[in-house]
Amino acid sequence: MGNKIPQSNHQATKEAVKDPFLPRTGIFCYPNYKMTTSEGLKNTVFHTAIIGAGASGLMCAGSFPHRKILIDHNTKPGVKISISGGGKCNFSNRFVSAADYVSENKHFCKNALAAFKPRDFLNLLNENHIRWEERTHGQLFAFNAQDIVQMLLKRAQKTGTRILTHTQVLDVRRENNLFLLDTSAGSLRAERVVLACGGLSFPELGASNFGFKIAEKFGLHLIDPRPALAGFIFPKELRSRFCQLAGNSLKAAVTCGKYSFEEQLLFTHEGVSGPAALQASLYWIPGQPVQINFLPGENALTLFYTQKNHAKTFPTALCGKLSAKVAKTILGKQNEDLSNATRAELETAAQALNCFSFIPQATSGYTRAEVTAGGVDTRQINPSTFEAKKTPGLYLIGELLDVTGRLGGFNLHWAWSSGFAAAQALAKQF
């Protein structure tokens, strides 16, 4: 599959048409789109109510017909998509496979990933003349994340979705074979409910614990949620030493247990971030040490021996490999005379460069984590339909589930795949 995807449709497609229509509050609609009123809601039994107009909810809504409603408490749908990938949306990855996901039930994601591949999303973009490109490591990016949101909204509209924004769902309960939803705009009824309310990351973008709360209410067990794809916070003693490096970045290898990532590393005021640290954070268990190799592919001890008669100090021996400021900070007191250094001193310095080990105080938390790892235990969910095994009619998709992708487009791809799989199942229901 991988090789058949071209690297970009940049040349082949027209400039995407920008839809300026995004109201700030209330019921979202496209031109000619029938407005929904709270009264109308009360008297309608929807085929499906989808809670959360984020990535998975929008994909699900646009992938099956039938009278449905998509509800979000944000004033605009798809807010996270809009800002993802720095506004360019790293929407998928050419090399998606089950191995790119962390879950206590590692086979769960396979069916959905097989049924909706990166190529399928690219087909949607091409059909809608949306430009995209492939970057390093197979990462697929749009040129403007907003184009993707608008494409998803257009699909949802075409398949008969009423989109209700600025409306919080407060509760979901079962009543006479229907689901009753209490919302801030009144109550409504639906034959099926899809929980697409995401995880806890970035509360300012609408993240809430609502999905977890309702899942638990319906008897579903949670794998402890934790912030992931987040930076590490240094322990106090390292923070004061390293804070002067905030803003500096370099290529490094960050290792957590058996997982190692060689990518850019960024020093922050409180620790380290950047792709290498974010990737490692997905595998980190509190209390576990993390190692940084600041000279990946290079043996620092050999380098010091080679330089012993040429370079005066440790930092000058590292000239061209690390900036003097970074080298001095990492080595601490080891920036003195290299030619007179003892073997033990050389080994200590080499160890600091090749295997700098620390126990993070924490990750930077939900306010800055790109995703929530853990979530609803997928052993209670049908892997083909995403329906809760014990509650027919209740579907769960996206980040809410205990399936978390690595950095590089895998989480949005999971949102598309799981949303699509649930939609296929829902389409067959009537």
| Closest distance to ligand FAD from the beta carbon of 40 (Å) | 19
Of these, 62, 118, 198, 315, which contacts ligand FAD (CB under 6 A)? 198
Alpha-carbon distance 264 to 267, whole Å? 10
x/- map, 11-40, ligand FAD, by CB under 6 A: ------------------------------
Contacting range for ligand FAD; rule: CB under 6 A; set: 51-59, 173-181, 318-326, 341-349: 51-59
- Taking the least distance from each CB to ligand FAD, the nearer of 169 and 350 is 169
> Could you tell me if 380 and 420 are in contact, meaning their C-beta atoms sit under 8 angstroms apart?
no
- Tell me how far apart the alpha carbons of residues 333 and 196 are, in angstroms, rounded to a whole number: 52
Question: Tokens standing for 99?
Answer: 């191995």
Q: Does residue 409 belong to the site contacting ligand FAD (CB under 6 A)? A: yes
Helices 410-427 and 118-127: angle between axes, nearest 10 degrees: 80
Q: Does residue 411 bind ligand FAD (CB under 6 A)?
A: yes
Stretch touching ligand FAD by CB under 6 A, among 199-207, 219-227, 282-290, 333-341: 199-207
Considering only 41, 49, 55, 338, the residue that binds ligand FAD (CB under 6 A) is 55
Q: CA 242 from chain center: how many Å?
A: 28
146 lies in the binding site for ligand FAD (CB under 6 A): no
Task: Calculate the alpha carbon distances from 36 to 42, 64, 197, 223, 224 in Å.
Answer: 11, 20, 21, 37, 38
- How big is the CA angle at 234 (ends 228 and 240), to the nearest 5 degrees? 150
Site map (CB under 6 A) of ligand FAD, residues 68-97, x = contact: ---xxxx----xx--xxx---xx-------
Residue 358, H or E segment: strand 356-358
Binding to ligand FAD by CB under 6 A, coded x per residue (else -) over 163-182, reads: -----xx-------------
Main-chain dihedrals φ then ψ at residue 412, nearest 5 degrees: -65, -35
Question: Is residue 263 close enough to count as binding ligand FAD by CB under 6 A?
Answer: no
Beta strands, E only, 136-279: 139-142, 161-164, 169-175, 178-183, 186-195, 222-228, 232-233, 249-256, 259-267, 271-273
Beta-ladder partners of 46 = 190
197 lies in the site for ligand FAD, by CB under 6 A: yes
Nearer to ligand FAD, 391 or 411 (CB): 411
**Identified binder of ligand FAD from the candidate list 52, 225, 271, 375, rule CB under 6 A:** 52
Near ligand FAD by CB under 6 A: residue from 27, 49, 51, 250: 51
Residues between 352 and 371 that touch ligand FAD (CB under 6 A):
370-371
Beta-carbon count within 10 A of 199 CB: 27
Nearest partner of 221 among 397, 387, 402, judged by Cα: 402
Shortest distance, position 27 Cβ to ligand FAD, whole Å: 14
| Least distance between ligand FAD and beta carbon 225 (Å) | 13
Told to check if 399 binds ligand FAD by CB under 6 A, we report yes
Contact between 412 and ligand FAD by CB under 6 A: the answer reads yes
The answer to whether 318 and 301 have CB atoms below 8 angstroms apart is no
Query: Is there binding between residue 161 and ligand FAD (CB under 6 A)?
Result: no
| Shortest Cβ 252–ligand FAD spacing (Å) | 22
Residue 53 interacts with ligand FAD (CB under 6 A): yes or no = yes
Of 130, 157, 155, nearest to 145 (Cα)? 130
Q: Does 206 bind ligand FAD (CB under 6 A)?
A: yes
The Cα-based distances of 263 to 147, 292, 404 in angstroms read 29, 11, 20
Do residues 198 and 80 touch, judged by C-beta distance below 8 A? yes
Which residues are at the interface with ligand FAD (CB under 6 A)? 51-57, 71-74, 79-80, 83-85, 89-90, 168-169, 196-198, 201-202, 206-208, 210, 370-371, 398-400, 409-412, 415
